[in-house]
Chain A
Amino acid sequence: MRATRVAPDLSRRQVIFTAGSAAGGLLIGIGMAAAPGGARAATVSNKPWDDKDSAPHELDAWIAIDPDDSVLIRYQRAEMGQGSMTALPMLITEELQCDWSKVRIEYASATRNARENRVYGNMYSHGSMSVRESQKMVQQVGASARERLIAAAAARWKVPASDCMAAQSVVTHRPSGRTLRYGELAAAAAKIKLAKEPTIKTPAQFSFLPRRMPRVDVAHKTDGAAKFGIDAQVPGMVFAAIAACPVPGGKLKAVDESVLSGAPGIVAIVKLDHAVAVVATDSFWRAKRALSRLQPQWDVGAAGLVNSAQLSKDFRAALGAKMVVARNDGDVAKAMSRGARTFEAIYETPYLSHSPMEPMNATVNLQADRLDVWVGSQDAEGALHAAATASGLEPEQVHVHNAFLGGGFGRRDGNDEIVQAIAIAKVVKRPVKLIWTREEDMRHDRFRPHAVVAFKAATGSDGLPTAWSMRIVTSSIFQSVGIPFPPDKAEPPAVDGLVSNGYAVPNQRIELLLKNTHLPVWFYRAPGANQHVFAIEGFLDEIAAANRLDPYRLRRKLLAGKPDWIKVLDIAAQKGDWGKPLPRGSGRGIAICNFTDSLCAQVAEVTVKPSGEVKVDRVTVVLDTRNMVNPQTIVEQAESSVIFGLTAALYGKITIKDGAAVQGNFDTYRMVRLAEAPKIDVHLAPSGGEVWGGAGEPAVPPVIAAVANAIFAATGKRIRTLPIVDNDLRSA
């Protein structure tokens, strides 16, 4: 059994779920029933999309109930491992009062969303939005269906609906005890329009949730059956490999096609503005091998002179420029001049590649009046519109068959692979599967931006900061994505993790300068916070060390008046053995952040060998997502975030040379592997209330900071530049 402890003094909403590293089992807490066994779980097909976008026995676009009581629930977001494909239907089930074991889940159709006035709303999975942005909407869907089923039963019995109740897919007339199954009522319920929409439940009224439930997609992912975009098989399909200009934005000048003349199985060489592709009859390998024989000439312009060292210099030089104010509390200049001590430091974080395990790919079948796209997209709706634009068809003529995503982390909503595949299909006039090599995926990522932050702080006689300023130079994700934003305001992803700090420093001034390069930048799991929390939590640690304050107690003092923050911090310190002795060469670090309305504090324990090698021994995570659907997936996401953050902290860096990304594969862009994975203890501490926090991202930022701070505790060496592996940590 997984170790489970419930603090006796906590109310139902403050239950702490503890996932230990012992053999897994049920997480059981107050008010949370054990999960039913696998036989009673809801299901999804190994091909999660529906080739038709309507079903018999629909109550509406979301729900269909067959005569045998089986319930089809449509899931409108993406499944990339975060578990929302299980969680959102669980929320519908909470309201619908149906039998979870009879639920079948499939993706909602983006085409139907386009055709039916966006009946599914936003379809993207990013910003940890899948649950928190659609929780009210899907609860309403479930509640409305339930009330229509009750109304249908009441009409058949000719009794008041208020005398009827619904549970486990059955409506009961309470006075008489008569019952009707949902399957017997669905046809009549489908015709009922409620005079008034029912009020949805508050989390305190939930009976089904929160509940640890197995994810519906797991078994398809253990026998090779789960279909990812790259697995699409379309009759008559050909295979394409592509090489975009190594310098992003550069143009194809010329390519000598004659080297491939007579090569067997080559369908076409397709020249695009910024890339060249080779299409082969029978395998991706044939296309890839032929492509490697081409020697395209590129027009890269001045971007071909850019390199990382110069970029870093340029960003640092811009720290003194005029900036946009993101936050301005009190009077920093005045408070600085009165400080007992002052501090300054510059923190720097590099470009990163998302590198999901499934390289970017898309399969398209372009016909005169219909386009089918098989892809794993974080936003099927965005993919549909991009495909419509690229093909010239109407959105209603485009069918995006969204698959399981082999990782996303923010990368899988750029649609660049879809647009390329359509351009190739226009030339070869056959169904095409385009796959990017790993090198193409890594070097043509839309990167996590490079950022430099210059801190200044003043502390009073008690050692606490009285003022701090932060000046940020980074690149604009919004401009790269094409999101309009006023230039005199600070775009949130560029300042997140700094502006959102919870510390009661009375004078704060946070400013931003956006400096764009030819390199496209993009959202990356916990945008902004994934680099800025490292910076601010490191700088705060510097202040603590210089003023001989305990890093945990300093944070606690600065969070006065914020009991939710303090609770998360306290549990982390307690569970993470803060203050307990460690052997020489080892140390603990602590960090906290607020991201996507969730709070996360972590304590990391590291050992630094005399050779400078860093081993992260243990990470304690406390996560307050406010409310919870499925604690199982929240724990999984916290563990996932820690490993993802560790890769960024320890190794992650894309270097730019002659305008192009240097690292192209996992031999040079190192990933944390099993042997380096620390013991991770996750404690869920949901504080309840109206707000729903995200689960997929908030545990990424603190681990980076906690590890860097732990290294200082172990060695006395401060990490101000990532990745950690670039710092000299050898003992003298």
Chain B
Amino acid sequence: MITIQVNGTSRQIDIEPDTPLLWVLRDVIGLTGTKFGCGIAQCGACTVHINGAAMRSCSVPIGALDGAKIVTIEGLSPDNSHPVQRAWIEESVPQCGYCQSGQIMAVAAFLKTFAKPTDADIDANVTNICRCGTYPALRRAIHRAANAVKA
């Protein structure tokens, strides 16, 4: 039995320890905002926060997470009001939207380290794939969110 805290709620998970966190979130707990894209930590659609750090949950086994605090897109804010979410809406970033939970979680963690990122910081650290190519809007939204946090 593994105990994890997901979006503030404690959960007892009884499953094989090699099961990736992604599938615990989606199939066991029923939080479907975190998406499956590649299964090999390439695309980042499954990004969540584990103890505050952005991680690709498809490649993190649940057995390594006993006692961990996990935040998913559903727990980032109660009402879509996190500065990154607001910036995403204001810049109309999502198209198909499938990768955006992961993008938002990656950027929310990134901005904790890079409060006022340069474009080079963004290039080096925001590496999730978006097949719709929302990158221009995404870059604008990162700067917008950084400015909102700063203000």
For residue B1, CB closer than 8 A to chain A, the reply is no
From A81, A222, A642, A672, B96 is in contact (CB under 8 Å) with A81
Q: Which residues of B contact A285 (CB under 8 A)?
A: 19-20, 22-23, 27
Chain A 393-413 interface 0/1 with B at a Cβ cutoff of 8 Å (1 = within): 000000000001111110000
Q: A223-B76, A406-B96, A644-B131 are in contact. Are A283 and B15 (CB under 8 A)?
A: yes
For residue A445, CB closer than 8 A to chain B, the reply is no
- B49-100 with Cβ < 8 A to chain A: 72-74, 76-77, 80, 85, 88-100
A617, chain B: closest CB distance, angstroms: 13
Q: Is the CB of A667 within 8 A of B40?
A: yes
Q: Which residues of B contact A214 (CB under 8 A)?
A: 89, 92
From A81, A289, A646, B95 is in contact (CB under 8 Å) with A81
Q: A219-B89, A223-B74, A223-B80 are in contact. Are A233 and B96 (CB under 8 A)?
A: no
Q: Which residues of A contact B42 (CB under 8 A)?
A: 665-667
Q: Is the CB of B89 within 8 A of A357?
A: no
Closest to A632 in B: B92
For residue A673, CB closer than 8 A to chain B, the reply is yes
From A221, A667, A675, B124 is in contact (CB under 8 Å) with A675
Interface residues of B (CB under 8 A from A): 15-16, 18-20, 22-24, 26-28, 30-40, 42-43, 45, 72-74, 76-77, 80, 85, 88-101, 104, 122-124, 126-140, 143-144
Which of A222, A227, A406 has most chain B Cβ within 10 Å? Answer: A222
For residue A636, CB closer than 8 A to chain B, the reply is yes
Q: Which residues of B contact A217 (CB under 8 A)?
A: 94, 97
Q: Is the CB of B95 within 8 A of A222?
A: no
A-B complex: 4 closest residue pairs judged by Cβ atoms: A224-B33, A643-B133, A221-B97, A81-B95
For residue A427, CB closer than 8 A to chain B, the reply is no
A229, chain B: closest CB distance, angstroms: 10
Query: Could you list some 17 contacts between A and B, CB below 8 A?
Result: A21-B140, A22-B140, A24-B90, A220-B97, A223-B80, A230-B32, A283-B23, A283-B27, A406-B35, A438-B37, A640-B133, A643-B135, A644-B133, A665-B40, A666-B40, A671-B43, A674-B122
Q: Is the CB of A21 within 8 A of B136?
A: yes
Q: Is the CB of B124 within 8 A of A355?
A: no
Q: Which residues of A contact B97 (CB under 8 A)?
A: 81, 217-218, 220-221, 226, 404, 406
Q: A218-B92, A221-B94, A407-B96 are in contact. Are A356 and B136 (CB under 8 A)?
A: no
A600, chain B: closest CB distance, angstroms: 15
A587, chain B: closest CB distance, angstroms: 22
Q: Which residues of A contact B93 (CB under 8 A)?
A: 218, 222
A242, chain B: closest CB distance, angstroms: 14
A451, chain B: closest CB distance, angstroms: 22
Complex CA gap A357/B16 in Å reads: 27
Q: Is the CB of A218 within 8 A of B133?
A: no
For residue A569, CB closer than 8 A to chain B, the reply is no
Q: A357-B129, A357-B131, A359-B36 are in contact. Are A82 and B124 (CB under 8 A)?
A: no
- A14-35 with Cβ < 8 A to chain B: 21-24
Q: Is the CB of A24 within 8 A of B19?
A: no
Q: Which residues of B contact A225 (CB under 8 A)?
A: 33
For residue A116, CB closer than 8 A to chain B, the reply is no
Question: Beyond the given A38-B89, A644-B132, A674-B126, could you list 17 further A-B residue pairs with CB under 8 A, ordered by the A residue number?
Answer: A24-B90, A24-B140, A214-B92, A217-B94, A218-B93, A222-B93, A223-B73, A283-B27, A285-B20, A357-B35, A666-B129, A667-B40, A671-B43, A674-B122, A674-B138, A675-B122, A675-B123
Which of A21, A24, A223, A666 has most chain B Cβ within 10 Å? Answer: A223
Complex CA gap A183/B58 in Å reads: 49
Chief secondary structure at chain B's binding surface: loop
Chief secondary structure at chain A's binding surface: loop
Q: Is the CB of B135 within 8 A of A355?
A: no
From B22, B24, B88, B133, A639 is in contact (CB under 8 Å) with B133
Complex CA gap A225/B77 in Å reads: 12
For residue A680, CB closer than 8 A to chain B, the reply is yes
Q: Is the CB of A674 within 8 A of B28?
A: no
A378, chain B: closest CB distance, angstroms: 12
A148, chain B: closest CB distance, angstroms: 35
For residue A599, CB closer than 8 A to chain B, the reply is no
Q: A222-B80, A405-B96 are in contact. Are A639 and B137 (CB under 8 A)?
A: yes
From A224, A283, A672, B133 is in contact (CB under 8 Å) with A672
Complex CA gap A437/B23 in Å reads: 13
Q: Is the CB of A223 within 8 A of B131?
A: no
Q: Is the CB of B129 within 8 A of A671?
A: yes
B17, chain A: closest CB distance, angstroms: 12
Q: Is the CB of B135 within 8 A of A222?
A: no
Q: Is the CB of A222 within 8 A of B133?
A: no
For residue A347, CB closer than 8 A to chain B, the reply is no
Q: Which residues of A contact B122 (CB under 8 A)?
A: 674-675
Closest to B88 in A: A222
For residue A59, CB closer than 8 A to chain B, the reply is no
B146, chain A: closest CB distance, angstroms: 11
Q: Is the CB of B96 within 8 A of A224?
A: no
Q: Which residues of A contact B129 (CB under 8 A)?
A: 357, 666, 671, 673
Q: Which residues of A contact B90 (CB under 8 A)?
A: 24
Q: Is the CB of B126 within 8 A of A284?
A: no
B31, chain A: closest CB distance, angstroms: 7
From A215, A435, A641, B92 is in contact (CB under 8 Å) with A215
Complex CA gap A83/B24 in Å reads: 32
For residue A228, CB closer than 8 A to chain B, the reply is yes
Complex CA gap A404/B28 in Å reads: 23
Q: Which residues of B contact A289 (CB under 8 A)?
A: 18
Q: Is the CB of A230 within 8 A of B36?
A: yes
Q: Is the CB of B143 within 8 A of A23?
A: yes
A407, chain B: closest CB distance, angstroms: 5
